[in-house]
Amino acid sequence: MDSQVPWRCLVPADAVSFIIGKGGANIRQISETSGAEVAISKEGETPETLADKIVTVKGSNNQKESACAQILRKLRQMQGVSDHEPGVFVIIVPQISAPVIIGAKGAQIKSIMEHSGAEINVGREAIINMADQPISINGTINQVIAAVSKLNSVLQDMLDRGKLAQRDFIVRPLDASAVAFDEPPRVEKPAEAPAVDRSAPPTYSGGGGGVTAPYPGGSNTGGCGGGGG
Residue 26 has pLDDT above 90, yes or no: yes
pTM of the entire predicted model: 0.77
Sequence-distant (≥ 6) Cβ neighbours of residue 199 within 8 angstroms: none
What is the predicted pLDDT for the residue at 3? Answer: 87
Give the three-class secondary structure for 129: coil
Q: Place 119 in a pLDDT band, splitting at 50, 70 and 90.
A: very high
For the segment 43-53, what is each residue's pLDDT rounded down to a tens digit?
A: 888 998 899 99
Of the candidates 29, 44, 39, the one whose C-alpha atom is nearest the C-alpha of residue 9 is 39
Cα-Cα-Cα-Cα dihedral sign, residues 75, 138, 226, 43? negative
